Structure 1
Protein backbone atom coordinates (compact mmCIF):
# COMPACT_ATOMS: atom_id res chain seq x y z
CA UNK A 1 0.00 0.00 0.00
CA UNK A 2 1.38 3.41 -0.95
CA UNK A 3 4.10 2.61 -3.49
CA UNK A 4 5.90 5.91 -3.02
CA UNK A 5 5.97 7.82 0.22
CA UNK A 6 8.36 9.76 2.41
CA UNK A 7 8.97 9.25 6.10
CA UNK A 8 9.71 11.83 8.77
CA UNK A 9 13.16 10.92 10.04
CA UNK A 10 13.45 13.54 12.79
CA UNK A 11 14.00 12.13 16.26
CA UNK A 12 13.13 15.42 17.98
CA UNK A 13 11.54 15.12 21.41
CA UNK A 14 8.55 17.21 22.49
CA UNK A 15 8.84 16.79 26.25
CA UNK A 16 6.76 19.42 28.01
CA UNK A 17 5.20 20.68 24.76
CA UNK A 18 1.42 21.00 24.48
CA UNK A 19 -0.06 19.84 21.19
CA UNK A 20 -3.67 20.18 20.02
CA UNK A 21 -4.85 17.96 17.15
CA UNK A 22 -8.33 18.27 15.68
CA UNK A 23 -9.94 15.07 14.40
CA UNK A 24 -7.46 12.95 16.33
CA UNK A 25 -9.76 9.98 16.88
CA UNK A 26 -9.20 8.42 13.46
CA UNK A 27 -6.98 8.31 10.37
CA UNK A 28 -3.87 10.45 10.15
CA UNK A 29 -4.97 12.50 13.15
CA UNK A 30 -4.84 9.46 15.38
CA UNK A 31 -1.47 8.38 13.97
CA UNK A 32 -0.11 11.89 14.52
CA UNK A 33 -1.35 11.86 18.12
CA UNK A 34 0.37 8.52 18.70
CA UNK A 35 3.68 9.72 17.27
CA UNK A 36 3.77 12.99 19.23
CA UNK A 37 2.65 11.21 22.42
CA UNK A 38 5.66 8.91 22.03
CA UNK A 39 7.88 11.99 21.71
CA UNK A 40 6.77 13.17 25.15
CA UNK A 41 4.16 15.75 24.12
CA UNK A 42 1.06 16.55 26.13
CA UNK A 43 -1.46 15.83 23.39
CA UNK A 44 -5.01 17.14 23.47
CA UNK A 45 -7.24 15.25 21.04
CA UNK A 46 -10.01 17.62 19.94
CA UNK A 47 -12.79 15.37 18.64
CA UNK A 48 -16.41 15.79 17.63
CA UNK A 49 -17.42 12.41 19.06
CA UNK A 50 -16.05 11.96 22.59
CA UNK A 51 -16.97 8.28 22.68
CA UNK A 52 -14.85 7.60 19.60
CA UNK A 53 -12.20 9.89 21.01
CA UNK A 54 -12.05 7.88 24.23
CA UNK A 55 -11.69 4.65 22.24
CA UNK A 56 -8.85 6.15 20.20
CA UNK A 57 -7.14 7.45 23.35
CA UNK A 58 -7.24 3.97 24.91
CA UNK A 59 -5.97 2.41 21.67
CA UNK A 60 -2.98 4.77 21.64
CA UNK A 61 -2.12 4.08 25.27
CA UNK A 62 -2.48 0.31 24.78
CA UNK A 63 -0.17 0.40 21.76
CA UNK A 64 2.51 2.08 23.88
CA UNK A 65 2.57 -0.40 26.75
CA UNK A 66 6.00 -1.69 25.74
CA UNK A 67 7.50 1.66 24.74
CA UNK A 68 10.59 2.41 26.80
CA UNK A 69 10.94 6.13 26.04
CA UNK A 70 9.25 8.76 28.18
CA UNK A 71 5.68 9.18 27.02
CA UNK A 72 3.63 12.34 27.17
CA UNK A 73 0.00 12.67 28.23
CA UNK A 74 -3.28 12.29 26.37
CA UNK A 75 -6.46 14.26 26.99
CA UNK A 76 -9.74 14.79 25.16
CA UNK A 77 -11.60 17.96 24.25
CA UNK A 78 -14.97 18.15 22.53
CA UNK A 79 -14.90 20.05 19.25
CA UNK A 80 -17.50 20.16 16.48
CA UNK A 81 -16.12 22.39 13.75
CA UNK A 82 -19.57 22.59 12.14
CA UNK A 83 -20.73 24.63 15.13
CA UNK A 84 -19.16 27.99 15.96
CA UNK A 85 -20.63 27.66 19.43
CA UNK A 86 -18.76 24.39 19.92
CA UNK A 87 -15.56 25.94 18.54
CA UNK A 88 -15.83 28.84 20.99
CA UNK A 89 -16.57 26.52 23.91
CA UNK A 90 -13.61 24.27 23.10
CA UNK A 91 -11.26 27.22 22.63
CA UNK A 92 -12.42 28.69 25.93
CA UNK A 93 -11.57 25.42 27.64
CA UNK A 94 -8.16 25.15 25.96
CA UNK A 95 -7.20 28.72 26.81
CA UNK A 96 -6.85 27.45 30.38
CA UNK A 97 -3.76 25.49 29.31
CA UNK A 98 -0.41 26.81 30.49
CA UNK A 99 0.60 27.20 26.86
CA UNK A 100 0.00 25.83 23.37
CA UNK A 101 3.09 24.94 21.36
CA UNK A 102 1.69 23.11 18.34
CA UNK A 103 -1.78 23.37 16.79
CA UNK A 104 -2.59 20.82 14.09
CA UNK A 105 -5.80 21.60 12.23
CA UNK A 106 -6.32 18.12 10.85
CA UNK A 107 -10.06 17.35 10.94
CA UNK A 108 -12.07 17.50 7.76
CA UNK A 109 -14.87 16.18 5.58
CA UNK A 110 -14.76 15.37 1.88
CA UNK A 111 -17.37 15.40 -0.87
CA UNK A 112 -20.37 15.17 1.44
CA UNK A 113 -23.93 15.77 0.17
CA UNK A 114 -25.09 19.37 0.32
CA UNK A 115 -25.82 20.43 3.86
CA UNK A 116 -25.72 23.67 5.79
CA UNK A 117 -24.36 23.92 9.29
CA UNK A 118 -26.29 25.46 12.17
CA UNK A 119 -24.43 28.67 11.35
CA UNK A 120 -25.74 28.70 7.78
CA UNK A 121 -22.57 27.71 5.93
CA UNK A 122 -21.91 24.91 3.47
CA UNK A 123 -20.63 21.95 5.48
CA UNK A 124 -17.22 21.52 3.84
CA UNK A 125 -16.43 25.23 3.89
CA UNK A 126 -17.15 25.50 7.60
CA UNK A 127 -15.66 22.18 8.75
CA UNK A 128 -12.51 22.40 6.68
CA UNK A 129 -11.85 26.14 6.75
CA UNK A 130 -14.09 28.46 8.78
CA UNK A 131 -14.16 26.29 11.90
CA UNK A 132 -10.37 25.97 11.95
CA UNK A 133 -9.96 29.66 11.11
CA UNK A 134 -12.06 30.63 14.15
CA UNK A 135 -10.42 28.00 16.36
CA UNK A 136 -6.93 29.19 15.48
CA UNK A 137 -7.61 32.87 16.07
CA UNK A 138 -9.34 32.19 19.39
CA UNK A 139 -6.32 30.16 20.54
CA UNK A 140 -3.76 32.61 19.20
CA UNK A 141 -3.31 34.57 22.47
CA UNK A 142 -2.28 31.34 24.22
CA UNK A 143 -0.11 30.23 21.29
CA UNK A 144 1.70 33.57 21.53
CA UNK A 145 2.83 32.62 25.03
CA UNK A 146 4.97 29.81 23.60
CA UNK A 147 8.65 30.53 22.95
CA UNK A 148 8.37 28.64 19.67
CA UNK A 149 5.04 27.51 18.23
CA UNK A 150 3.80 25.93 15.03
CA UNK A 151 0.37 26.07 13.40
CA UNK A 152 -0.22 23.32 10.84
CA UNK A 153 -3.15 23.20 8.43
CA UNK A 154 -3.81 19.91 6.64
CA UNK A 155 -4.82 20.78 3.10
CA UNK A 156 -4.81 18.58 -0.02
CA UNK A 157 -3.49 18.37 -3.56
CA UNK A 158 -7.17 18.88 -4.43
CA UNK A 159 -6.49 22.61 -4.02
CA UNK A 160 -4.85 22.58 -7.47
CA UNK A 161 -8.30 22.38 -9.06
CA UNK A 162 -9.89 24.72 -6.55
CA UNK A 163 -11.31 28.17 -7.11
CA UNK A 164 -12.84 30.59 -4.64
CA UNK A 165 -16.11 32.23 -5.58
CA UNK A 166 -16.31 35.13 -3.16
CA UNK A 167 -19.79 35.94 -4.46
CA UNK A 168 -21.10 32.47 -3.61
CA UNK A 169 -18.88 30.69 -1.09
CA UNK A 170 -21.81 28.63 0.21
CA UNK A 171 -23.15 27.42 -3.16
CA UNK A 172 -26.44 29.24 -2.70
CA UNK A 173 -26.59 30.65 -6.24
CA UNK A 174 -24.90 28.01 -8.36
CA UNK A 175 -25.57 24.25 -8.42
CA UNK A 176 -23.76 22.40 -5.65
CA UNK A 177 -20.89 20.16 -6.68
CA UNK A 178 -19.38 18.24 -3.78
CA UNK A 179 -15.90 17.98 -5.27
CA UNK A 180 -15.81 21.68 -6.17
CA UNK A 181 -16.78 22.57 -2.60
CA UNK A 182 -14.03 20.31 -1.25
CA UNK A 183 -11.44 21.79 -3.60
CA UNK A 184 -12.47 25.30 -2.56
CA UNK A 185 -12.12 24.47 1.13
CA UNK A 186 -8.65 22.97 0.65
CA UNK A 187 -7.52 26.04 -1.29
CA UNK A 188 -8.77 28.12 1.64
CA UNK A 189 -6.48 26.14 3.98
CA UNK A 190 -3.38 27.22 2.07
CA UNK A 191 -4.43 30.84 1.64
CA UNK A 192 -5.22 31.05 5.36
CA UNK A 193 -1.78 29.66 6.21
CA UNK A 194 -0.07 32.20 3.96
CA UNK A 195 -2.05 35.19 5.20
CA UNK A 196 -1.64 34.25 8.86
CA UNK A 197 2.12 34.05 8.34
CA UNK A 198 2.15 37.44 6.62
CA UNK A 199 0.12 39.11 9.36
CA UNK A 200 2.27 37.65 12.13
CA UNK A 201 5.42 38.94 10.42
CA UNK A 202 3.83 42.37 10.02
CA UNK A 203 3.43 42.43 13.82
CA UNK A 204 7.07 41.33 14.28
CA UNK A 205 5.87 37.99 15.64
CA UNK A 206 8.40 35.43 14.48
CA UNK A 207 8.17 32.74 17.15
CA UNK A 208 5.03 31.33 15.51
CA UNK A 209 5.48 29.57 12.17
CA UNK A 210 2.72 28.27 9.91
CA UNK A 211 2.58 25.29 7.55
CA UNK A 212 0.09 23.79 5.11
CA UNK A 213 0.44 20.36 3.58
CA UNK A 214 -0.87 17.60 1.36
CA UNK A 215 -0.82 14.30 3.31
CA UNK A 216 -1.31 12.12 0.25
CA UNK A 217 -4.30 10.15 -0.97
CA UNK A 218 -5.13 7.96 2.00
CA UNK A 219 -7.32 4.99 2.90
CA UNK A 220 -9.27 6.72 5.66
CA UNK A 221 -12.90 7.46 6.50
CA UNK A 222 -12.66 10.76 4.61
CA UNK A 223 -14.17 9.21 1.49
CA UNK A 224 -17.23 7.81 3.27
CA UNK A 225 -19.63 10.04 1.29
CA UNK A 226 -18.45 9.04 -2.20
CA UNK A 227 -21.33 6.57 -2.71
CA UNK A 228 -23.87 9.21 -1.68
CA UNK A 229 -22.58 11.96 -3.93
CA UNK A 230 -21.53 10.04 -7.05
CA UNK A 231 -22.65 6.42 -7.46
CA UNK A 232 -23.03 3.34 -5.29
CA UNK A 233 -19.84 1.29 -5.32
CA UNK A 234 -17.39 4.16 -5.86
CA UNK A 235 -16.16 3.95 -2.28
CA UNK A 236 -15.49 0.22 -2.76
CA UNK A 237 -13.59 0.94 -5.98
CA UNK A 238 -11.65 3.68 -4.20
CA UNK A 239 -10.59 1.44 -1.33
CA UNK A 240 -10.37 -1.97 -3.02
CA UNK A 241 -9.06 -1.42 -6.53
CA UNK A 242 -7.01 1.77 -6.08
CA UNK A 243 -5.45 0.57 -2.82
CA UNK A 244 -2.01 0.04 -4.34
CA UNK A 245 -1.77 3.77 -5.07
CA UNK A 246 -3.12 4.91 -1.70
CA UNK A 247 -1.24 5.62 1.49
CA UNK A 248 -2.03 4.03 4.81
CA UNK A 249 -2.84 6.45 7.65
CA UNK A 250 0.68 5.80 9.01
CA UNK A 251 2.20 6.84 5.70
CA UNK A 252 -0.18 9.74 5.27
CA UNK A 253 0.63 11.22 8.67
CA UNK A 254 4.34 11.60 7.91
CA UNK A 255 4.20 15.09 6.42
CA UNK A 256 2.06 16.36 9.29
CA UNK A 257 4.58 14.95 11.76
CA UNK A 258 7.43 16.42 9.71
CA UNK A 259 5.88 19.90 9.86
CA UNK A 260 5.34 19.51 13.60
CA UNK A 261 8.83 18.37 14.64
CA UNK A 262 11.50 18.75 11.97
CA UNK A 263 14.24 21.08 13.20
CA UNK A 264 15.40 22.20 9.75
CA UNK A 265 12.08 23.88 8.89
CA UNK A 266 11.64 25.56 12.28
CA UNK A 267 12.19 29.00 10.74
CA UNK A 268 10.19 28.40 7.56
CA UNK A 269 6.68 29.83 7.59
CA UNK A 270 3.68 30.21 5.34
CA UNK A 271 4.82 27.43 3.03
CA UNK A 272 3.30 24.24 1.60
CA UNK A 273 4.67 20.70 1.95
CA UNK A 274 4.12 17.25 0.51
CA UNK A 275 5.99 13.99 1.12
CA UNK A 276 8.08 15.66 3.83
CA UNK A 277 9.50 18.37 1.64
CA UNK A 278 8.62 21.85 0.52
CA UNK A 279 6.49 22.08 -2.62
CA UNK A 280 5.11 24.95 -4.66
CA UNK A 281 1.29 25.03 -4.46
CA UNK A 282 -0.92 25.88 -7.42
CA UNK A 283 -0.92 29.43 -8.79
CA UNK A 284 -4.28 30.30 -7.21
CA UNK A 285 -2.90 29.29 -3.80
CA UNK A 286 -0.16 31.92 -4.22
CA UNK A 287 -2.58 34.78 -4.89
CA UNK A 288 -1.88 37.19 -2.03
CA UNK A 289 -4.86 39.39 -2.89
CA UNK A 290 -7.19 36.40 -2.54
CA UNK A 291 -5.48 35.42 0.70
CA UNK A 292 -6.13 38.87 2.15
CA UNK A 293 -9.71 38.94 0.89
CA UNK A 294 -10.42 35.45 2.25
CA UNK A 295 -9.13 36.55 5.65
CA UNK A 296 -11.42 39.58 5.71
CA UNK A 297 -14.46 37.62 4.50
CA UNK A 298 -13.77 34.80 6.96
CA UNK A 299 -13.56 37.25 9.87
CA UNK A 300 -17.06 38.47 9.07
CA UNK A 301 -18.43 34.96 8.59
CA UNK A 302 -17.18 33.78 11.99
CA UNK A 303 -18.01 37.03 13.80
CA UNK A 304 -14.47 38.20 14.59
CA UNK A 305 -14.39 41.48 12.71
CA UNK A 306 -12.50 43.30 15.48
CA UNK A 307 -9.51 40.95 15.61
CA UNK A 308 -6.28 42.90 15.18
CA UNK A 309 -3.83 40.51 13.61
Structure 2
Protein backbone atom coordinates (compact mmCIF):
# COMPACT_ATOMS: atom_id res chain seq x y z
CA UNK A 1 0.00 0.00 0.00
CA UNK A 2 1.82 3.06 -1.23
CA UNK A 3 -0.78 5.75 -0.60
CA UNK A 4 -0.59 8.02 2.40
CA UNK A 5 -3.96 7.59 4.11
CA UNK A 6 -5.08 10.67 6.05
CA UNK A 7 -8.27 12.06 7.55
CA UNK A 8 -9.07 13.35 4.05
CA UNK A 9 -9.77 9.71 3.14
CA UNK A 10 -12.49 9.31 5.78
CA UNK A 11 -15.84 8.81 4.03
CA UNK A 12 -18.89 10.84 4.99
CA UNK A 13 -19.94 9.67 8.47
CA UNK A 14 -23.31 11.42 8.61
CA UNK A 15 -25.97 9.19 10.13
CA UNK A 16 -23.41 7.07 11.98
CA UNK A 17 -23.10 6.86 15.75
CA UNK A 18 -19.66 6.38 17.29
CA UNK A 19 -18.75 5.65 20.92
CA UNK A 20 -15.08 6.33 21.72
CA UNK A 21 -13.61 5.41 25.10
CA UNK A 22 -10.95 7.63 26.63
CA UNK A 23 -11.82 10.41 24.21
CA UNK A 24 -11.06 13.48 26.28
CA UNK A 25 -7.33 13.50 25.48
CA UNK A 26 -4.63 12.08 23.24
CA UNK A 27 -5.45 9.44 20.64
CA UNK A 28 -9.08 9.15 21.69
CA UNK A 29 -9.62 12.88 21.42
CA UNK A 30 -8.13 13.00 17.92
CA UNK A 31 -10.18 9.97 16.85
CA UNK A 32 -13.45 11.42 18.14
CA UNK A 33 -12.68 14.86 16.72
CA UNK A 34 -12.06 13.51 13.23
CA UNK A 35 -15.21 11.37 13.27
CA UNK A 36 -17.32 14.32 14.42
CA UNK A 37 -15.80 16.57 11.75
CA UNK A 38 -16.89 14.04 9.15
CA UNK A 39 -20.48 14.03 10.36
CA UNK A 40 -20.72 11.21 12.92
CA UNK A 41 -22.67 11.62 16.12
CA UNK A 42 -19.93 10.96 18.67
CA UNK A 43 -20.16 9.93 22.32
CA UNK A 44 -17.06 10.58 24.41
CA UNK A 45 -17.04 7.77 26.99
CA UNK A 46 -14.71 9.12 29.66
CA UNK A 47 -13.83 8.74 33.30
CA UNK A 48 -13.81 12.47 34.07
CA UNK A 49 -17.04 14.13 32.93
CA UNK A 50 -15.70 17.68 33.32
CA UNK A 51 -12.68 16.94 31.13
CA UNK A 52 -14.96 15.18 28.67
CA UNK A 53 -17.20 18.23 28.43
CA UNK A 54 -14.18 20.47 27.91
CA UNK A 55 -12.99 18.16 25.12
CA UNK A 56 -16.44 18.13 23.52
CA UNK A 57 -16.52 21.93 23.56
CA UNK A 58 -13.33 21.97 21.45
CA UNK A 59 -14.88 19.75 18.77
CA UNK A 60 -17.22 20.61 15.95
CA UNK A 61 -20.30 18.54 15.19
CA UNK A 62 -22.63 16.50 17.36
CA UNK A 63 -20.62 15.43 20.40
CA UNK A 64 -21.94 14.25 23.78
CA UNK A 65 -20.33 12.84 26.90
CA UNK A 66 -20.94 9.64 28.87
CA UNK A 67 -19.32 8.73 32.19
CA UNK A 68 -17.33 5.51 31.98
CA UNK A 69 -14.72 4.16 34.37
CA UNK A 70 -13.22 1.01 32.88
CA UNK A 71 -11.61 0.12 36.21
CA UNK A 72 -15.06 -0.67 37.63
CA UNK A 73 -17.45 -3.23 36.18
CA UNK A 74 -20.29 -1.46 37.98
CA UNK A 75 -19.41 1.71 36.07
CA UNK A 76 -19.17 -0.23 32.81
CA UNK A 77 -22.64 -1.67 33.36
CA UNK A 78 -24.07 1.72 34.33
CA UNK A 79 -22.53 3.37 31.27
CA UNK A 80 -23.79 0.63 28.97
CA UNK A 81 -27.31 0.96 30.40
CA UNK A 82 -27.21 4.73 29.91
CA UNK A 83 -26.01 4.38 26.32
CA UNK A 84 -28.71 1.81 25.60
CA UNK A 85 -31.35 4.18 26.94
CA UNK A 86 -30.26 7.05 24.68
CA UNK A 87 -29.08 5.29 21.53
CA UNK A 88 -31.00 3.00 19.22
CA UNK A 89 -27.90 1.97 17.27
CA UNK A 90 -24.11 2.08 17.40
CA UNK A 91 -22.10 2.03 14.19
CA UNK A 92 -18.65 2.33 15.73
CA UNK A 93 -17.43 1.23 19.14
CA UNK A 94 -13.82 2.29 19.52
CA UNK A 95 -12.12 0.67 22.51
CA UNK A 96 -9.37 3.23 22.85
CA UNK A 97 -8.89 4.03 26.54
CA UNK A 98 -6.01 2.43 28.35
CA UNK A 99 -3.30 2.62 30.96
CA UNK A 100 0.37 1.81 30.50
CA UNK A 101 3.17 0.70 32.85
CA UNK A 102 1.19 1.45 36.00
CA UNK A 103 2.66 0.54 39.41
CA UNK A 104 1.21 -2.64 40.84
CA UNK A 105 -2.41 -1.93 41.75
CA UNK A 106 -5.85 -3.38 41.19
CA UNK A 107 -9.17 -2.23 39.80
CA UNK A 108 -12.33 -1.92 41.89
CA UNK A 109 -13.02 -5.58 41.09
CA UNK A 110 -9.57 -6.81 42.12
CA UNK A 111 -8.08 -7.22 38.65
CA UNK A 112 -4.53 -6.17 37.86
CA UNK A 113 -4.93 -2.58 36.67
CA UNK A 114 -3.63 -2.91 33.11
CA UNK A 115 -5.36 -6.20 32.32
CA UNK A 116 -8.54 -5.06 34.05
CA UNK A 117 -8.71 -1.68 32.31
CA UNK A 118 -7.29 -2.38 28.87
CA UNK A 119 -8.88 -5.77 28.29
CA UNK A 120 -11.59 -6.77 30.76
CA UNK A 121 -13.28 -3.35 30.91
CA UNK A 122 -13.51 -3.19 27.13
CA UNK A 123 -14.53 -6.84 26.86
CA UNK A 124 -17.45 -6.17 29.19
CA UNK A 125 -18.45 -2.92 27.50
CA UNK A 126 -18.44 -4.52 24.06
CA UNK A 127 -20.55 -7.44 25.24
CA UNK A 128 -23.10 -5.13 26.84
CA UNK A 129 -23.43 -2.93 23.74
CA UNK A 130 -23.05 -5.45 20.93
CA UNK A 131 -26.75 -6.03 20.31
CA UNK A 132 -27.03 -2.32 19.37
CA UNK A 133 -24.48 -3.05 16.64
CA UNK A 134 -25.44 -6.43 15.22
CA UNK A 135 -28.40 -5.13 13.16
CA UNK A 136 -26.39 -2.20 11.76
CA UNK A 137 -24.78 -2.80 8.35
CA UNK A 138 -21.14 -1.81 8.35
CA UNK A 139 -20.83 -1.53 12.12
CA UNK A 140 -17.40 -2.10 13.61
CA UNK A 141 -15.73 -2.79 16.94
CA UNK A 142 -12.25 -1.28 16.80
CA UNK A 143 -9.89 -2.19 19.65
CA UNK A 144 -6.55 -0.48 20.19
CA UNK A 145 -3.52 -2.64 20.85
CA UNK A 146 0.20 -1.81 20.78
CA UNK A 147 3.44 -3.24 19.50
CA UNK A 148 3.98 -3.71 23.23
CA UNK A 149 1.88 -6.88 22.83
CA UNK A 150 5.15 -8.55 21.81
CA UNK A 151 6.75 -7.97 25.22
CA UNK A 152 7.08 -11.40 26.88
CA UNK A 153 4.14 -12.29 24.65
CA UNK A 154 1.86 -14.60 26.59
CA UNK A 155 -1.42 -14.73 28.45
CA UNK A 156 -0.32 -15.83 31.91
CA UNK A 157 -3.32 -17.98 32.81
CA UNK A 158 -1.52 -19.30 35.88
CA UNK A 159 -1.26 -15.76 37.29
CA UNK A 160 -3.46 -13.43 35.21
CA UNK A 161 -3.59 -10.81 37.95
CA UNK A 162 0.18 -10.83 38.62
CA UNK A 163 -0.29 -11.72 42.28
CA UNK A 164 2.93 -13.75 42.60
CA UNK A 165 5.21 -11.26 40.90
CA UNK A 166 4.78 -8.08 38.90
CA UNK A 167 6.41 -6.52 35.86
CA UNK A 168 4.91 -3.30 34.54
CA UNK A 169 6.09 -3.98 31.01
CA UNK A 170 5.04 -7.64 30.90
CA UNK A 171 1.63 -6.86 32.42
CA UNK A 172 1.12 -4.16 29.81
CA UNK A 173 2.19 -6.58 27.09
CA UNK A 174 -0.30 -9.17 28.33
CA UNK A 175 -3.13 -6.62 28.27
CA UNK A 176 -2.29 -5.52 24.72
CA UNK A 177 -1.95 -9.13 23.54
CA UNK A 178 -5.38 -9.73 25.09
CA UNK A 179 -6.78 -6.82 23.05
CA UNK A 180 -5.66 -8.52 19.84
CA UNK A 181 -6.84 -11.98 20.85
CA UNK A 182 -10.20 -10.49 21.80
CA UNK A 183 -10.47 -8.87 18.36
CA UNK A 184 -9.62 -12.06 16.49
CA UNK A 185 -11.96 -14.25 18.53
CA UNK A 186 -14.74 -11.67 18.34
CA UNK A 187 -14.38 -11.58 14.56
CA UNK A 188 -14.61 -15.35 14.40
CA UNK A 189 -17.86 -15.17 16.38
CA UNK A 190 -19.23 -12.31 14.28
CA UNK A 191 -18.43 -13.93 10.94
CA UNK A 192 -21.76 -15.73 10.71
CA UNK A 193 -23.71 -12.50 11.13
CA UNK A 194 -22.26 -10.63 8.19
CA UNK A 195 -22.93 -7.11 9.50
CA UNK A 196 -20.58 -6.19 12.35
CA UNK A 197 -16.84 -6.73 12.10
CA UNK A 198 -13.99 -6.52 14.61
CA UNK A 199 -10.78 -4.72 13.66
CA UNK A 200 -7.64 -3.80 15.61
CA UNK A 201 -5.17 -0.93 15.37
CA UNK A 202 -2.10 0.42 17.10
CA UNK A 203 -0.74 3.98 17.15
CA UNK A 204 2.98 3.35 16.95
CA UNK A 205 4.89 5.56 19.37
CA UNK A 206 2.77 8.64 20.03
CA UNK A 207 3.53 11.51 22.35
CA UNK A 208 0.59 11.19 24.76
CA UNK A 209 -0.11 11.19 28.51
CA UNK A 210 0.62 7.45 28.72
CA UNK A 211 4.28 8.30 29.25
CA UNK A 212 3.53 9.46 32.80
CA UNK A 213 3.82 5.91 34.18
CA UNK A 214 6.95 5.00 32.28
CA UNK A 215 9.75 3.98 34.69
CA UNK A 216 11.80 7.02 35.67
CA UNK A 217 14.95 5.63 34.06
CA UNK A 218 13.19 5.71 30.69
CA UNK A 219 11.00 8.76 31.13
CA UNK A 220 13.66 11.45 30.75
CA UNK A 221 15.37 9.89 27.71
CA UNK A 222 12.01 9.33 26.04
CA UNK A 223 10.97 12.90 26.81
CA UNK A 224 14.19 14.31 25.36
CA UNK A 225 13.98 12.11 22.28
CA UNK A 226 10.22 12.51 21.82
CA UNK A 227 10.45 14.80 18.78
CA UNK A 228 12.61 12.21 17.02
CA UNK A 229 11.00 8.91 18.05
CA UNK A 230 7.32 9.80 18.45
CA UNK A 231 4.54 11.18 16.34
CA UNK A 232 1.68 13.47 17.23
CA UNK A 233 -1.56 12.10 18.65
CA UNK A 234 -3.27 13.19 15.42
CA UNK A 235 -0.93 10.93 13.41
CA UNK A 236 -1.17 8.18 16.01
CA UNK A 237 -4.95 8.18 15.65
CA UNK A 238 -4.84 7.50 11.90
CA UNK A 239 -4.59 3.68 12.17
CA UNK A 240 -7.68 3.69 14.40
CA UNK A 241 -9.55 5.96 12.02
CA UNK A 242 -8.63 3.81 9.04
CA UNK A 243 -9.72 0.65 10.85
CA UNK A 244 -12.99 2.39 11.70
CA UNK A 245 -13.85 3.97 8.36
CA UNK A 246 -11.93 2.51 5.42
CA UNK A 247 -14.56 0.81 3.22
CA UNK A 248 -11.97 -1.81 2.24
CA UNK A 249 -11.25 -2.92 5.82
CA UNK A 250 -12.09 -6.52 6.66
CA UNK A 251 -12.83 -8.21 9.94
CA UNK A 252 -9.75 -9.45 11.76
CA UNK A 253 -7.39 -6.95 10.18
CA UNK A 254 -4.81 -4.96 12.13
CA UNK A 255 -3.66 -1.46 11.20
CA UNK A 256 -0.54 0.40 12.31
CA UNK A 257 1.91 3.06 11.15
CA UNK A 258 3.66 2.29 7.88
CA UNK A 259 7.11 3.56 8.82
CA UNK A 260 10.12 1.58 9.94
CA UNK A 261 9.27 -0.82 12.79
CA UNK A 262 5.74 0.61 12.78
CA UNK A 263 6.88 3.47 15.01
CA UNK A 264 5.62 6.35 12.88
CA UNK A 265 3.92 7.01 9.58
CA UNK A 266 0.67 6.75 7.71
CA UNK A 267 -1.50 3.70 8.45
CA UNK A 268 -1.31 0.40 6.63
CA UNK A 269 -2.12 -3.23 7.29
CA UNK A 270 0.33 -4.88 9.69
CA UNK A 271 0.64 -8.26 11.36
CA UNK A 272 0.74 -9.10 15.04
CA UNK A 273 2.90 -11.62 16.89
CA UNK A 274 2.58 -15.34 16.12
CA UNK A 275 1.22 -15.89 19.64
CA UNK A 276 -1.70 -13.53 18.98
CA UNK A 277 -3.06 -15.86 16.28
CA UNK A 278 -3.27 -18.95 18.52
CA UNK A 279 -6.94 -19.89 18.33
CA UNK A 280 -7.02 -22.15 21.39
CA UNK A 281 -5.55 -19.38 23.55
CA UNK A 282 -7.98 -16.84 22.11
CA UNK A 283 -10.90 -19.07 23.02
CA UNK A 284 -9.55 -19.83 26.49
CA UNK A 285 -9.06 -16.11 27.13
CA UNK A 286 -12.62 -15.46 25.99
CA UNK A 287 -14.03 -18.03 28.40
CA UNK A 288 -11.95 -16.68 31.29
CA UNK A 289 -12.99 -13.12 30.45
CA UNK A 290 -16.66 -14.10 30.50
CA UNK A 291 -16.18 -15.71 33.90
CA UNK A 292 -14.29 -12.74 35.36
CA UNK A 293 -16.67 -10.07 34.07
CA UNK A 294 -19.93 -12.00 34.19
CA UNK A 295 -20.71 -10.70 30.68
CA UNK A 296 -22.00 -13.10 28.04
CA UNK A 297 -22.05 -11.87 24.47
CA UNK A 298 -25.41 -11.95 22.65
CA UNK A 299 -25.89 -14.52 19.89
CA UNK A 300 -22.25 -14.83 18.88
CA UNK A 301 -20.95 -18.34 19.24
CA UNK A 302 -17.41 -19.36 18.48
CA UNK A 303 -17.00 -20.98 15.08
CA UNK A 304 -14.55 -23.74 15.92
CA UNK A 305 -13.49 -24.35 12.33
CA UNK A 306 -13.85 -20.84 11.04
CA UNK A 307 -10.84 -18.65 10.45
CA UNK A 308 -10.53 -14.92 10.26
CA UNK A 309 -8.75 -12.63 7.90
CA UNK A 310 -5.00 -12.60 8.52
CA UNK A 311 -3.10 -10.28 6.19
CA UNK A 312 -0.41 -12.13 4.29
CA UNK A 313 2.27 -9.47 4.46
CA UNK A 314 5.79 -9.48 5.80
CA UNK A 315 5.96 -9.59 9.59
CA UNK A 316 7.88 -6.82 11.26
CA UNK A 317 9.45 -6.89 14.69
CA UNK A 318 9.06 -3.48 16.30
CA UNK A 319 10.25 -3.17 19.83
CA UNK A 320 7.61 -1.21 21.64
CA UNK A 321 4.85 1.36 21.35
- TM-score, length-scaled by structure 1: 0.89
Q: Which runs of 5+ in 1 are unaligned?
A: 62-71
**Aligned residue in 2 for 1:95:** 84
List structure 1 runs of 4+ shifted beyond 4 angstroms.
305-308
**Aligned residue in 2 for 1:79:** 68
Does structure 1 residue 163 correspond to structure 2 residue 154?
A: yes
| Greater relative contact order structure (CA < 8 Å, 6+ sep) | 1
**Aligned residue in 2 for 1:134:** 124
Instruction: Indicate if the aligned counterparts of 1:8 and 1:255 stay in contact, CA closer than 8 A.
Output: no
**Aligned residue in 2 for 1:30:** 29
**What root-mean-square deviation, in Å, do the aligned CA atoms of Structure 1 and Structure 2 show?**
1.5
Most deviating of 146-155 and 271-280: 271-280
From the superposition, tell whether residues 11 and 121 of structure 1 become closer, same or farther in structure 2 (CA, over 3 Å). closer
Separation in 2, partners of 1:25, 1:237:
27
From the superposition, tell whether residues 137 and 305 of structure 1 become closer, same or farther in structure 2 (CA, over 3 Å). closer
Instruction: Indicate if the aligned counterparts of 1:122 and 1:170 stay in contact, CA closer than 8 A.
Output: yes
Q: Which runs of 5+ in 2 are unaligned?
A: 258-266, 301-321
Separation in 1, partners of 2:202, 2:280:
23
From the superposition, tell whether residues 218 and 122 of structure 1 become closer, same or farther in structure 2 (CA, over 3 Å). same
From the superposition, tell whether residues 8 and 290 of structure 1 become closer, same or farther in structure 2 (CA, over 3 Å). farther
Aligned residues: 286
Q: What secondary structure does 1:95 align onto?
A: helix
Separation in 2, partners of 1:307, 1:122:
26
Q: Give deviations 1:92-133, integer Å, cap 9, x for gaps.
A: 011120210000000000000000111010000011000000
Which residue of 236, 245, 261 corresponds with 1:261?
245
**Aligned residue in 2 for 1:47:** 46
Matches within 5 A, 1:213-228: 213-226=201-214
Does structure 1 residue 246 correspond to structure 2 residue 230?
A: yes
